[in-house]
Amino acid sequence: MACKYERLNVISDSRGYVFEPLLADAFSSQRNAHVVISEPGVVRGNHYHLKGEETITVVGPALVRFRNKDIIEDTQIPAGEAFRFTFPAGVSHAIQNLNEEPNVLVAFNTVEHDPKDPDTEEDILL
């Protein structure tokens, strides 16, 4: 199965941004949620999941690289925008903060996080 992604509706004003990181009908299948703050230039991910499907919403500016079968694809997320990616098990992914300030990503996974038995395999993309 391939990665799916979409640009989200971001509402912004002088206070900041609001967006919906997950569709309402997807909440019941999630077993893990986490928020990641990345410093400038930092790369997160560089892995794939063995069993879980991961949905990640990334706030730009950022670069998301993923491997669909043998094809590596890049998606640039502009500043002030948010994209939601759904990575099926086996699809490698990496996210790099291209901002000069920390950025945010919100992630959900269909498999509960178990540090003693991780659901990830390393695959360096960035």
C-alpha 8/C-alpha 106 separation (Å) is 13
Q: What is the pLDDT of residue 70?
A: 86
**pLDDT in the model for residue 29:** 96
- pLDDT in tens for each of the 126 residues of the chain? 789 999 999 999 999 989 999 999 999 999 999 999 999 999 999 999 999 999 999 999 999 999 988 899 999 999 999 999 999 999 999 999 999 999 999 999 999 999 999 999 999 999
Start-to-end CA distance of the chain, whole Å, equals 22
Whether the CB-CB separation of 122 and 93 falls below 8 Å is answered with no
CA distance 67 to 9: 26
pLDDT attached to residue 1: 75
Phi, psi torsion values for 28, nearest 5 degrees: -65, -20
Domains in the chain (CATH in brackets) are 4-10+29-122 (2.60.120.10)
The confidence score (pLDDT) of residue 72 equals 96
Residue 23 has what pLDDT?
92
Predicted pLDDT at 69: 81
**Confidence (pTM):** 0.94
